[in-house]
């Protein structure tokens, strides 16, 4: 199975798909699956833009809305996690994952699925200590705090993922796990991102909870984004297992934003997504730990008087499997919830959207017998005749700066043309060796041989994309020129 991995998408879906198509034609290959490591920006309409923690200058729809409203369909099965630049109101509808558009699947706050025998897990968002122990309490209208806390990871997500015992083949996080830079070429990283040197030297760079997951889960591959650069590392665990880590850049010309891997898989049938039985069982067993208040709660431990280990037994997995009638195939049940972009009036565009109940989540929770955190919050506010009609945001949003979007330097990095590569079988390979300097150089060489396309090829794809009909351009940005995308200001030099 050929898998394309994208760093930060930032709403540039058309560019990403066109880039993959160019590679397929040039290399005579077929990519089966696309994985995006956050900042996906699944904005359905202009209202969704008002639920993103970004400055007004980045209020740009991108192209996702065309896939949501059916104008286009994703040509490749796409899986993504959330980052810190997301339409959080939409992703709140799918806490356990689901289809945000036909053929585009969100993994939820955290989750694990199976793709033809390959086990893929991930966690959305970024880490902030102030919100780590809180519940999922956020609701529209977001204030200056909740518009950010809504995409901050929670302890319950890490706790649940730590219950997994079976091998994870691929794991995704938006932020890098803390300490991962120690296992790669840190000298090169300091040259590319010199402003990270202080955090690297002080040990503050990266996500501490993700570091815990890395040590516990020991996946074969771990992919991240967020810091807007390409970086490879090999992490040797105490039991001699090895994790191949790769971070990728954001979707811009001459940036290393895409990588293709050839991963052997056991099932030669049509590529389909399936639920992971162990993960579903963990969700079922730990449902009582769900917390939806703006207060701290702590997970049970060895000294508590309640169950604190939720790694499921075979009998518990059988019980959960029976709830699904033995069918783990993820249904292709995408449902429209918010208005299409062409249904948004000028007046509506300046208002907040509603928070919608998504039938995918309702159906999933009913089958599994678990709670929907958004449903609990909505029910509470429905009873209080609260703020679900969509009033304007409060506060000075034009001055808002997003959470750490590390890319202070817009220096363009030359990259080679892309080629597909074959890496060891993530399912059958033992990988029980110590990481040597030679192995790390070898992995860096492999990772470096499959970069994003160069400037000329990128612009050829852009030329084709810009000729597509129906794109509305950025909100309140009449000065935007030819490149009407989220990062248009970088190309047009309007500053």
Q: Average pLDDT of 59-73?
A: 94
- Cβ-in-10-Å burial (0-12, 13-18, 19+) of 490 comes to middle
The Cα–Cα gap between 255 and 312 comes to: 43
pLDDT at 494 over 90: no
Q: Average pLDDT of 382-404?
A: 41
- pLDDT score, position 381: 78
Q: Answer yes or no: are the C-beta atoms of 172 and 35 closer than 8 Å.
A: yes
The Cα–Cα gap between 315 and 303 comes to: 26
**What's the token pair of residue 39?**
């900042």
* pLDDT range class, residue 384, cuts 50, 70, 90: low
pLDDT at 302 over 50: yes
Q: Average pLDDT of 343-353?
A: 87
**What HEC string does 152-218 produce?**
ECCHHHHHHHCCCCCCCCEEEECCCECCHHHHECHHHHHHHCHHHHHHHHHCCCCEHHHHHHHHHHC
Q: Answer yes or no: are the C-beta atoms of 372 and 362 closer than 8 Å.
A: yes
pLDDT in tens, 224-248: 999 999 999 999 999 999 999 999 9
Token look-up 């292709």 returns 332
**What's the token pair of residue 8?**
């930060």
Quick check: bond before 141 cis, omega within 30?
A: yes
Percentage of residues in the chain having pLDDT higher than 90: 67
Token look-up 């202080």 returns 198
- pLDDT score, position 351: 82
Cβ count near 430 (within 10 Å): 10
Output the average pLDDT for the chain. 82
Q: Answer yes or no: are the C-beta atoms of 151 and 88 closer than 8 Å.
A: yes
Q: Which helix (H) or strand (E) holds 3?
A: strand 2-6
The Cα–Cα gap between 286 and 494 comes to: 51
Q: Which of 85-89, 114-118, 386-390 has the least mean pLDDT?
A: 386-390
The Cα–Cα gap between 4 and 33 comes to: 6
- pLDDT score, position 482: 37
Alpha helices in 8-103 (DSSP H): 13-27, 46-49, 64-68, 88-91
pLDDT at 6 over 80: yes
pLDDT in tens, 401-456: 344 444 433 222 222 233 333 333 333 333 333 455 655 665 655 565 444 444 44
pLDDT at 59 over 90: no
The Cα–Cα gap between 147 and 400 comes to: 11
pLDDT in tens, 122-148: 999 999 999 999 999 999 999 999 999
The Cα–Cα gap between 354 and 105 comes to: 22
**What's the token pair of residue 76?**
């490749």
The Cα–Cα gap between 343 and 339 comes to: 6
- pLDDT score, position 354: 85
| Residue whose C-alpha is closest to residue 262's, from 106, 445, 118, 434 | 118
Q: Average pLDDT of 341-367?
A: 92
Q: Which helix (H) or strand (E) holds 232?
A: strand 231-236
Q: Which residue has the higher pLDDT, 59 or 117?
A: 117
First-to-last C-alpha distance (Å) of the chain: 43
* pLDDT range class, residue 266, cuts 50, 70, 90: low
pLDDT in tens, 40-57: 999 999 999 999 998 888
Q: Answer yes or no: are the C-beta atoms of 151 and 83 closer than 8 Å.
A: yes
Percentage of residues in the chain having pLDDT higher than 70: 77
pLDDT in tens, 103-114: 999 999 999 999
Q: Average pLDDT of 169-185?
A: 96
The Cα–Cα gap between 239 and 215 comes to: 10
Q: Which of 80-84, 204-208, 281-285 has the least mean pLDDT?
A: 204-208
Q: Answer yes or no: are the C-beta atoms of 220 and 423 closer than 8 Å.
A: no
The Cα–Cα gap between 278 and 461 comes to: 41
Q: Answer yes or no: are the C-beta atoms of 247 and 230 closer than 8 Å.
A: yes
pLDDT at 475 over 70: no
Q: Which residue has the higher pLDDT, 455 or 7?
A: 7
Q: Answer yes or no: are the C-beta atoms of 401 and 433 closer than 8 Å.
A: no
- Cβ-in-10-Å burial (0-12, 13-18, 19+) of 464 comes to middle
467 phi-psi bin (left φ>0, alpha ψ -120 to 50, beta other): alpha
The Cα–Cα gap between 274 and 265 comes to: 14
pLDDT in tens, 179-224: 999 999 999 999 999 998 998 888 889 999 999 999 999 999 999 9
**What's the token pair of residue 89?**
């109101």
The Cα–Cα gap between 275 and 119 comes to: 10
* pLDDT range class, residue 255, cuts 50, 70, 90: very high
**2-492 architecture in CATH?**
4-Layer Sandwich (3.60)
pLDDT at 176 over 70: yes
pLDDT at 492 over 60: no
């Amino acid at each position: 199975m050929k898998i394309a991995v994208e760093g930060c998408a930032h709403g540039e879906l058309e560019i990403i798909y066109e880039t993959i198509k160019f590679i397929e034609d040039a290399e005579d290959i077929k990519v089966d699956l696309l994985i995006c490591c956050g900042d996906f920006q699944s904005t359905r309409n202009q209202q969704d833009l008002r639920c993103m923690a970004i400055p007004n200058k980045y209020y740009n729809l991108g192209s996702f809305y065309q896939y949501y409203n059916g104008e286009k369909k994703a040509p490749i099965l796409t899986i993504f996690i959330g980052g810190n630049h997301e339409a959080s109101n939409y992703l709140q509808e799918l806490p356990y994952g689901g289809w945000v558009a036909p053929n585009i699947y969100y993994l939820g706050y955290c989750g694990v699925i199976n793709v033809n025998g390959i086990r893929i897990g991930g966690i959305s968002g970024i880490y902030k200590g102030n919100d780590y122990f809180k519940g999922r309490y956020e609701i529209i209208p977001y204030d200056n705090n909740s518009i950010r806390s809504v995409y901050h990871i929670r302890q319950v997500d890490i706790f649940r993922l730590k219950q997994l015992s079976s091998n994870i083949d691929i794991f995704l996080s938006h932020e890098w796990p803390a300490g991962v830079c120690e296992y790669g070429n840190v000298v090169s990283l300091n040259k590319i991102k010199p402003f990270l040197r202080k955090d690297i030297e002080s040990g503050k760079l990266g996500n501490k909870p993700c570091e815990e997951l890395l040590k516990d889960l020991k996946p074969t591959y771990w992919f991240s984004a967020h810091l807007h650069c390409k970086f490879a590392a090999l992490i040797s665990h105490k039991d001699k297992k090895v994790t191949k880590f790769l971070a990728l850049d954001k979707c811009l010309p001459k940036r290393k934003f895409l990588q293709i891997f050839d991963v052997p898989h056991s099932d030669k049938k049509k590529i389909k997504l399936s639920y992971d039985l162990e993960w579903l069982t963990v969700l079922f067993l730990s449902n009582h730990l769900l917390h939806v208040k703006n207060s701290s709660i702590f997970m049970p431990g060895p000294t508590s008087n309640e169950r604190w280990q939720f790694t499921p037994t075979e009998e518990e997995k059988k019980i959960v499997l029976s709830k699904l009638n033995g069918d783990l195939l993820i249904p292709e049940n995408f449902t429209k919830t918010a208005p299409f972009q062409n249904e948004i009036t000028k007046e509506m565009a300046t208002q907040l959207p509603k928070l919608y109940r998504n039938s995918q989540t309702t159906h999933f929770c009913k089958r599994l017998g678990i709670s929907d955190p958004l449903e609990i919050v909505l029910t509470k506010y429905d009873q209080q005749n609260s703020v679900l009609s969509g009033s304007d945001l409060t506060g000075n949003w034009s001055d808002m700066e997003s959470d750490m979007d590390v890319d202070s330097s817009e220096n363009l990095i030359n990259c080679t043309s892309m080629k597909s590569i074959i890496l060891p079988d993530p399912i059958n390979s033992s990988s029980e060796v110590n990481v040597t300097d030679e192995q790390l150089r070898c992995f860096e060489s492999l990772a470096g041989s499959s970069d994003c396309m160069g400037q000329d090829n990128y612009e050829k794809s852009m030329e084709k994309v810009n000729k597509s009909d129906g794109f509305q351009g950025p909100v309140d940005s009449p000065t935007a020129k030819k490149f009407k995308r989220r990062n248009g200001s970088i190309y047009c030099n309007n500053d």
